[in-house]
Structure 1
Amino acid sequence: MLAKTFGSAVYGVDASIITVEVNVSAGTKFLMVGLPDNAVKESEQRVESAIKYFGYSMPRIKTVVNLAPADIKKEGSAYDLPIALGILKASGQLTTEALEQYIIMGELSLDGLLRPIKGVLPIAIEARKKGFKGFILPKENASEAAIVDKLDIIGVETINEAIEFVEGRLEIEPLKKDTRSIFEDTYDGYEADFAQVQGQENIKRALEIAAAGGHNVIMIGPPGAGKTMLAKRLPSILPPLNLHEALETTKIHSVAGKLGAHASLVATRPFRSPHHTISDVALVGGGGIPQPGEISLANNGVLFLDELPEFKRTVLEVMRQPLEERRVTISRAKVSIDFPANFMLVASMNPCPCGYYNHPEKECVCPPGTVQRYLNRVSGPLLDRIDLHVEVTPVSFDEMTADRQAETSTQIRERVISARLLQTERFKDHPTIFSNAMMPPPMVKDICQINEAGKKLLKTAMERLGLSARAYDRILKVSRTIADLAGTEEIRIEHLAEAIQYRSLDREGWAG
């Protein structure tokens, strides 16, 4: 007897429907075909143990399980539940005709309990698109799938509950979630706030400019100056995610299995801070069936690279293309997958190996030439993609103990949102450009025009400070953002002057 159930496979951030065909006929073997990996092949043992636990039996005649389409590799243990129900149906132990109305996914334990799976949100979206009535899945994943409306989300704890439901002996109320309400309740859920930071007003100002224009930023300063603390608070001043961005971010975290049990919508901007020992594959993504890396997990948020020169050179260089294109393409022999990678890069570094070069009080003990070699670990092409270079100095005792109330993240974010609204209007005819940082060079000349006094100042700065040619466009972009924060149409000379000071690493002889 032939039976069919339906599961799904996730490739990139999108899902494809997989038909699980089970045929029980004369013979003695159990065969599984359709390019299953080892985890899928091992489902036979889990399925047999789970159905026996609840009083059902594994057929002792020839059983063929086909995962179609057969030319796509199937990975993971999430096919256990559709395979088990298909076997029970094909062997006559289930009489229901409802199986083909549902997408069914879940990993079985030996006692029939269902374990959570990855990639639930894109599967639910695809199920609704293909016209399925509902989605039967582990109860721990139900909140995530319930983000998708017009689809019955049936969360079950055991295989027996799934059997009883499809047979009509158990009524399970589909889980419903008000996605917009969840989004509105959690979009501002940041614990870190700039009001907790005493002093460092110049660094806060630089991060406000970075947030307003979507600029990448690097902070250079001694240990303990507050670089990491400031970076962690950057998401709290970025404009709130809109619902489309929240769904896109949630899909990526779902595919990577980063949502956790009973989680639903990612409504706050992600902040990812990988350790400097990370590999290039872990950073950009990869694997047999490619999985998203850290740059994709930071999509619509912040990627923070602490101690930038300590990262392997190959790891840093693979970021160059994603920083330009805002996406990363992982190519394999049979498949090529695009992951979104629209993130703000925030990096920090010590000025030298000992950490105290240019320190106002402590003396650097590095030998001659060491500082320059340390800075040279970060390539010019990567620095070329970072708009703001900010020197961070330690906070004095008086600043730390001052009673003055610092600005809150909410106050700063209001100015950032106002500047972003100006940019939205400016780039309304350019659907791929959302912020000043994304402007290509031809557009910079048109939008970032400066008067003769500004040109004279910029020429003087480039000659006297030894700024490199690559700093020219960056200065104009940043000055455009500063003008947006000030609410002015023209770029004034004071806006240019402020932008020039954020090019520390471009100055000739900066490292002595």
Structure 2
Amino acid sequence: MAALGCALSVGLIGLNAFVIQLQAFISPGLPHFSIIGLPDTSLNEARERVRSGCAACGFPWPGSRVTVNMSPASLPKRGSAHDLAIAASVLSASRTIPSNCLASTVVLGELNLDGSVLPINGLLPILLHVREQGLHSVIVPRANLEEAQLVPGLQVATVSHLGELMEMFDAHPRYSTRGEPLIADQAVAVPATQVPVGDMRDVVHQDAAKTALEVAAAGGHHLLMVGPPGTGKTMLASRMPGIMAPLDEDAQFEVASIRSVCGTLRSTGISSVPPFEAPHHSATAPALVGGGSGLGQPGAVTRAHHGVLFMDEAPEFAPRVLQTLREPLESGMVAISRAKGTTVYPARFQLVMAANPCPCGYGYGTGERCTCSERERIRYFGRLSGPILDRIDMQVEVDPIEHLDTGPDGNGPSSAEMRQRVTTARSRARERFSPHGWTCNAQASGTWLRSHTPASILHVVNDALSAHRLSLRGADRAMRLSWTLADLAGRAQPSMDDIAMAIALRTKELT
């Protein structure tokens, strides 16, 4: 006699979640277990995990045909997070648990062969979607409890074994002491994990580079630092998250969702400090922008969303890898197309690059220590192509330090002082751009800039265009920089000094 059982799960394509309805159909026929609805390889392997886990709980597997359909069938399903829901649907079809008990409960978890339930990645964006869809009851692995508690308004039950799921519905008394009741409508505050970031005062001198970093943080601008080895470029870049404005709650959840998909949220937690990613110069294009088989996985540009992507020794990256940055730098997202579909990830980051002036690193000043030929120097910096450099808002020289101070007092303002100025400047920009939905000057359109920038400033920009000091894209970026400088100074509009400094920052003339 045929029997039908149901359960609910949630799938992910990138950060976009969708509810999956599972229907298990037990029908007469030769023993066979199949999963349909565009499952990937790891999901097809759930057949063995589910069958073995059920056997470990003493559940007699049906000696007939078992078919589990995952709808909507048009969307690809991947991963092992649906194991527990598949098992629940089969248990429901066999009447081991009541057939309607999971009609409005989402079940998530990976099964081991002994029936134990393992934690899953991507739970946070899944639960946010569950709440948006008006569903309230969720069963998750016990190891994911802390992550599940980040989303208020849900009734969450945790299990560590398939037998506990059966016990919840009085189907397996053996586990009666291990099951947990539903946690009613929890409202857990989001904990703010403090990520340790070095202080800007740790960097000796380099006032011009610190000024450029402050401007970059205040306006969301991209930056290239050029200087010989040992001048503090990496130290400066690593301290940039400490001077950036703290992330608001929406941004924190977005960053945490990315970390959840990547499986790092349990170790990093939710933090108001912007993320910092520093891929090695040997990184491939998929490692940088995302990729892999099936549906694409997040890359470094997505993990740096709302934060900093630092590329040390930038000319050492493969030219093909550098070219992949052009799309996310302009659009703030990256689309990874594969045969099974296109995955879109957010990638609105601030790019900070560091480079030596030449392959040996000593091609500065008089160049007396440099051992590179002119051809080698041209080839070295030629890897940073024109289209990439044109998308960099600022270029600054980081000169060698010729003397040390005895204390930190001569090293300029602290990160806390710089962060306060940056936060105030960001607030001014956010208030100015609120009708347009922009949050910083780097997002302002060229049309808005040309219609709101004073005519005297536009005249200076036109002179720089005529002298070929700026390209058309560079002119817009220089105007954005001038607005950021005005925000830092508390002015309503850029001044002549602001545009002069903006052009100097743009053309590597700041000293």
TM score, norm. by length of structure 1: 0.89
Q: 1:322 to 1:456 in 2, by over 3 A?
A: closer
Cα 1:390–1:176 shift into 2, 3 Å? farther
CA distance in 2 between partners of 1:101 and 1:460 (Å):
64
Structure 1 letter corresponding to 2:70? L
Query: Does structure 2 conserve the Cα–Cα contact (< 8 Å) formed by 1:216 and 1:345?
Result: yes
Q: Which runs of 5+ in 1 are unaligned?
A: 508-512
Within 1, Cα distance between the matches of 2:339 and 2:41?
Answer: 20
Counterpart of 2:209 in structure 1 is: 203
Change (3 A) 1:361 1:399: farther
| 2-structure distance, mates of 1:455, 1:129 | 51
Q: How many equivalent residue pairs?
A: 499
Give the Cα–Cα distance (whole angstroms) in 2 for the partners of residues 196 and 172 of structure 1. 51
Matched, 1:313 2:319: yes
- Contact 2:93 2:99 (8 Å CA) reproduced: no
Is 1:182 equivalent to 2:193 in the alignment? no
- In structure 2, relative to structure 1, the CA distance for the partners of 1:468 and 1:90 (3 Å cut) is same
TM-aligned CA deviation for residue 413 of structure 1: 0.9
Contact kept in structure 1, 2:34 and 2:47, CA below 8 Å: no
TM-score, reference length from structure 2: 0.90
1:121 aligns with 2:127: no
Aligned residue in 2 for 1:43: 46
Partners of 1:74 and 1:154 in 2: CA distance: 24
SS at match of 1:17: strand
Aligned to 1:510: none
Q: Which amino acid aligns with 2:354?
A: S
Conservation of the 8 A alpha-carbon contact between 2:308 and 2:352: yes
Q: Which residue of 1 aligns with 2:148?
A: 145
Counterpart residue type for residue 17 of structure 1: V
- Give yes or no for contact 1:195–1:408 (8 Å, CA) kept in 2: yes
Once the two structures are superposed, residues 360-409 of structure 1 have per-residue CA deviations (whole angstroms, 9 ceiling, x without a partner) of: 79711101222122111111111111111011123334237665464221
- Taking a change above 3 Å as real, the CA distance of residues 323 and 504 of structure 1, as seen in their structure-2 partners, is same
User: Please, which of 169, 172, 178 is the counterpart of residue 181 of structure 2?
Assistant: 172
Query: How far has the Cα of 1:429 moved from its partner?
Result: 1.9
- Structure 2 Cα separation of the partners of residues 31 and 196 of structure 1: 61
User: What residue in structure 1 maps to residue 289 of structure 2?
Assistant: 284
Gaps in structure 2 of 5+ consecutive residues: none
Distance 1:221 1:504, change over 3 A: farther
1:493 aligned to 489, 492, 496, which one? 496
Distance 1:405 1:346, change over 3 A: closer
Counterpart residue identity of residue 426, structure 1: R
Partner amino acid, structure 2, of 1:31 = S
Mapped to 1, the partners of 2:367 and 2:378 lie a distance apart of 21
AA in 2 matched with 1:412:
M
Distance 1:355 1:504 in 2: 21
Moved more, 10-19 or 250-259: 250-259
1:419-498 equivalence runs, <5 A: 419-431=425-437, 433-449=438-454, 451=456, 455=459, 459=463, 463=467, 467-470=469-472, 471-498=474-501
The Cα of 1:442 is off from its aligned counterpart by 2.5
> Alignment partner for residue 135 of structure 1, among 138, 147, 150?
138
In structure 2, C-alpha distance between the alignment counterparts of 1:114 and 1:435, rounded to whole Å: 44
In the alignment, which of 80, 85, 91 is matched to residue 82 of structure 1?
85
1:390 matched to 2:396? The reply is yes
Aligned match of 2:277: 272
Q: Letter of the aligned partner of 2:181 in structure 1?
A: I
CA displacement 1:264-297 (0-9 Å, x = unmatched):
5343211111122222233223342232222122
Q: In terms of mean alpha carbon deviation, does 435-444 or 400-409 score higher?
A: 400-409
Match of 1:8, SS state, is strand
Q: What do the CA deviations read for 1:142-162 (whole angstroms, capped 9, x no partner)?
A: 222222222112222222222
1:451 aligned counterpart, secondary structure: helix
CA distance in 1, matches of 2:441, 2:67: 58
Deviation at 1:310, TM superposition (A): 1.4
1:8-62 residue CA offsets vs partner (Å, 9 max, x unmatched): 1101211111122112232222222222222112112222222222322322222
Q: Tell me the alpha carbon deviations over residues 326-361 of structure 1, each in whole angstroms, 9 at most, x when there is no partner.
A: 222334556444322211111111111111110579
Preserved CA contact (<8 Å) 1:144 1:265: no
Query: How far, CA to CA, are the matches of 2:374 and 2:413 in structure 1?
Result: 41
SS of residue paired to 1:399: coil
Q: Which amino acid aligns with 1:167?
A: D
Q: Which residue number in structure 2 is paired with residue 371 of structure 1? A: 377
Q: 1:9 corresponds to which residue?
A: 11
Supply the AA of the counterpart residue of 2:55. Answer: K
Matches within 5 A, 1:327-342: 327-332=333-338, 335-342=341-348
Asked if the contact 2:221–2:394 (Cα under 8 Å) also holds between the matched residues in 1, the reply is yes
- 8 Å Cα contact 1:270/1:297 also seen in 2: yes
Cα 1:176–1:298 change in 2 (3 A) is farther
Does the alignment pair 1:20 with 2:22?
yes
Distance 1:106 1:304 in 2: 35
2:394–2:508 Cα contact (<8 Å) kept: no
TM-aligned CA distance change 1:193 to 1:91, over 3 Å = same
Q: 2:219 is matched with which residue?
A: 213
Which residue does the alignment assign to 2:69? 66
2:163 alignment partner, one of 160, 163, 166: 160
Q: Distance in 1 between matches of 2:238 and 2:272?
A: 17
Deviations 1:182-239 (A, max 9, x none): 35x43x5443221322322221111001111111101111112111111111111111
- Provide the C-alpha distance between the structure 2 equivalents of 1:173 and 1:397, rounded to a whole number of angstroms: 65
| Paired residues of 2:332 and 2:346 also in contact (CA < 8 A) | yes
What value does the CA root-mean-square deviation take over the aligned residues?
Answer: 2.7
Cα distance in 2 between the residues matched to 1:201 and 1:386: 20
Structure 1 position 485, deviation (Å)? 0.8
Distance 1:134 1:342, change over 3 A: same
Contact 1:146 1:176 in 2 (8 A): no
Output the amino acid matched with 1:349: A
Structure 1 distance, partners of 2:228, 2:507, is 15
Report percent identity of matched pairs. 37
- Structure 2: how far apart are the matches of 1:499 and 1:264? 37
Equivalent residue of 2:404, what SS? helix
Q: Is the 8 A contact 2:276 2:308 kept in 1?
A: yes
Residues 409 and 118 (structure 1 numbering): CA distance in 2 closer, same or farther, change over 3 Å? same
- Hey, what does 2:32 align to over in structure 1? 29
1:103 aligns with 2:111: no
The one-character-per-residue Cα deviations of 1:155-181 (angstroms, maximum 9, x if unpaired) are 2222222222243854435287655x4
Q: 1:381 aligns with which of 355, 372, 387?
A: 387
Decide whether the 8 Å contact of 2:224 with 2:392 is kept in 1. Answer: yes
Residue-by-residue CA offset, 1:98-139 (whole Å, 9 max, x unaligned): 222311111111222222112111211222233333111112
